[in-house]
Amino acid sequence: MDICRTNIFRSAEKCAIKDVKKICANFLSGNVSELVGYTYPKLHKGKEWYVDFYARDPATNKMRRKKYWIGSELRVSERVRRATEIINVISKQLVQGWNPWVTTDQSRGYVLFENCLNRYLEHVDRMDRKKTRQSYHSRVNILREFISSQTIPIKYAYQFDVGFCTDFMDWIFLDRESSPRTRNNYRGWLYGLAAFLVERKHINANPVEHIKIMPEHEKFRKDLTPEMLKEMSHYLCRNDKPFLLACLMQYYTLIRPGELSHLKIGDISLKKQTVFVSHEFSKNHKDAEVGLNKIVIKLMLDLEVFKQPDSYYLFGANFRPNEERIGSDQFNKRWKIMRRALKWNDCYQFYSLKDSGIRDLANAQGVVVARDQARHSDITTTNKYIQKHGVQQVTFGFEGNLTYDDEE
């Protein structure tokens, strides 16, 4: 039997070499060989004879055991022959990308999403208009940037669902500070990408249909009033000081959520009272230093932030320093918890803190100071950037309406 099994395995290895090109060629036709994670089948003898093997279940990303029973009414020689047939067939199927936990209908959903994007770009490259090709390539790169910013990035096509698309639209509008028109343009493009996936049966329905077009003449996000800022500070002082630090950072430093999630403790200089924002994750891909308010520093000291290694991210799990960072989406998720507790309208968002910070800083110190602190060309066209003129020292002592008092 050992000789038989050895021959079977050698045969399977030959099949693997022979079929590699076929597997790659058949990738988009529904094969899921990228889910490689299996053991070769083995025969077990005893009171009951059976062949078993393990294969990765993509739904749980864990190995699951599969058994094929061999009838006890068969003679020993017949059992051996039946086992040999089963082992040979299963071995070849596993090498060719078969997965027992994925049905034929599901298989296209488990194609790697990155491969779907590459295939989509092949179609884009055949389009007539150069501007369209450039625009779509740019938007795919932005989508990839969003995916990489997530705590748990999507891997397979089936994960391109309503939740993912909604989060991407929020990221475009809030984290990238896009106008409603730009956000709607991205929605239109995303709808086309989703249609591409539906046509190729990677997903069953277009998830973008559930995302509404935003009115372009209305401001969806509203500033926070001084009274609301004080109410929020009082609530967070009692219930969630780590998240209060995130809110203070957004209000005073005007650093975007996507940038906040990448900040490390080593980026903070107490001596200079600045925060360094690296070009590696800043929206304009430029290094910058931003003034750090004394109120923010006080809370950092109270939270013992600087007792952690410089290599730790400022905002990790539960908004405390950690060697692993949180995704930029976590700021909005935690904000919504607080917003429900305070019974605020949905128009008040985490990014409202930045709007309010710019407003209050400009009123107190002038629009030029606010412009430089926010790294904006001016306070009305937030997507245009200017060359940095250095940290404005008046930001060190600026005290706005959002405060932190350890006696709360």
Kindly tell me the sign of the dihedral angle through the C-alpha atoms of 368, 370, 373, 376.
Answer: negative
What's the pLDDT at 406? 64
Nearest-angstrom CA–CA distance, 242 and 338: 13
What's the pLDDT at 355? 83
Nearest-angstrom CA–CA distance, 406 and 408: 5
Task: Give Cα separations from 368 to 304, 360, 375, 378 (angstroms).
Answer: 33, 13, 10, 8
Looking at the DSSP bridge assignments, the partners of residue 264 are 313
What's the pLDDT at 383? 32
What's the pLDDT at 30? 45
111-210 folds as DNA polymerase; domain 1 (1.10.150)
Look at strands 62-70 and 268-269 and give their pairing: unpaired
pLDDT in tens, 182-212: 999 999 999 999 999 999 989 989 999 999 9
What's the pLDDT at 178? 84
User: What CATH class has 226-396?
Assistant: mainly alpha
What's the pLDDT at 106? 61
Q: pTM, whole model, 2 decimals?
A: 0.52
* CB proximity list for 21: less than 8 A, separation 6 or greater: none
Ranges of each domain in the chain: 2-101, 111-210, 226-396
Look at strands 268-269 and 274-277 and give their pairing: antiparallel
- pLDDT per residue rounded down to tens, the chain (408 residues): 444 444 544 444 444 444 434 443 444 444 443 445 889 999 999 889 999 999 888 767 788 899 989 888 888 999 999 999 999 988 888 887 778 877 655 667 878 899 999 999 999 999 988 888 999 999 999 999 999 888 888 888 888 999 999 999 999 988 887 888 899 999 999 999 999 999 998 998 999 999 999 887 655 678 899 999 999 999 999 999 999 999 999 999 999 888 999 999 999 999 999 999 998 888 767 888 998 989 999 999 999 999 999 999 999 999 999 999 998 889 989 999 999 999 999 889 998 898 888 888 777 776 667 667 776 654 444 333 223 334 455 455 566 777 777 655
Strand ranges (DSSP E) for 171-277?
268-269, 274-277
